[in-house]
Amino acid sequence: MSSSFERVTVLGAGVLGMQIAFQTAVHGFAVTSYDVSDEAVAQARGRLDAIVGQYLGEVRDADPDAVRAAAAGIRFETDLAAAVADADLVIEAVPESLELKRGVYRALAQVAPERTVLATNSSTLLPSDLVESTGRPERFLALHFANHIWAQNTAEIMGTSRTDPAVADRVAAFAEEIGMVPIRLRKEQPGYVLNSLLVPFLDAAAGLFMKDVADPATIDATWRIATGAPLGPFQIFDVVGLRTAYAVSIAGNAESRAFAARLQRDYLDRGLLGVESGEGFYTYR
């Protein structure tokens, strides 16, 4: 089936929001990227240039001219009503604050066409936390992407009990249309599928590290050899970024918070953020 979406607006032009807009534009959709100010849009343009460069460096069969043209075709907007006036689908990727997101949906409810489907990219909130603000429970769900969208191309799709299944089908079709593998959840699950697996796995690795059972390189080698995986848990921490690992751990139980404190003291306070800074549990390049 086809999504029948043509015009897609992405709210929030941060790292992931800009990747979503880019990935959607590259696959032929008319894309609008919304952020709150001219300063934010200026930053977003720089971010988009970096994404184009990274994408062309990684995706061998990409046509550079077509990719650059698709990116150049993204329309930037700072006026919410103008940004969504003709949108078939709005993907919300604004910062992870319940009150901020609820405010965005209350505003959207006023200005988005009745037919427009709304999707949240929230990682930590459930769509049922937001649905009351949308004014259109049957056309609202979560559509969750991962960082490095063209490589880690999962799109987790999770509705509330009130989401129209036909709308979820269209959103899944859209996910395929932009090169994603749709991951359909049958019910709401905090952390979706991926983080429901990843967080306990990384917690277990952090526990071995905190108890000093073995060092990160030994723990990682064990996992790689036993499962054939390319990366062990501490390599994943470095890829995800130690700031993100800290943010997840500080919100956890006492053991997780102890790990967060260790990350702060031995890594973040020394500028060791993982792959992005060139050093974390391992040194890069």
Interface ranges with a second copy (CB under 8 A): 146, 152-154, 156, 181, 183-187, 189, 193-194, 196-201, 203-205, 207-208, 211-214, 218-219, 221-223, 225-231, 233, 236
Q: Give CA 26 to chain center in angstroms.
A: 18
The set of residues, in sequence order, having a beta carbon less than 8 Å from that of 124 and lying 6+ positions away, is 96, 190, 191
Closest by CA position to 160, among listed 142, 145, 143, 173 = 142
CB of 70 to a second copy, least distance (A): 23
Beta carbon nearer to a second copy, 81 or 181? 181
Six-digit token string for 117: 């489907």
Rounded Cα distance, 136 and 117, in Å? 9
Comparing CB distances to a second copy, the nearer of 50 and 214 is 214
Least spacing, CB of residue 54 vs a second copy, in Å: 18
The closest alpha carbon to 143, from 97, 81, 90, belongs to: 90
Orientation of helix 64-72 relative to helix 38-58, angle to 10°: 170
Nearest approach, Cβ of 156 to a second copy (angstroms)?
A: 7
Decide whether 120 or 195 has the Cβ nearer to a second copy.
195
CB of 123 to a second copy, least distance (A): 13
Distance between first and last Cα of the chain: 45
- Provide the minimum distance between the beta carbon of 190 and a second copy in the complex, in angstroms, as a whole number: 10
Query: d(Cα 210, Cα 233) in Å, to the nearest integer?
Result: 14
Closer residue to a second copy in complex, CB, 135/252: 252
Quote the least distance from Cβ 39 to a second copy, whole Å.
33
Q: Toward a second copy, which CB reaches closer, 110 or 253?
A: 253
53/124 Cα distance (integer angstroms)? 30
Residue (97 or 284) nearer to a second copy, CB = 284
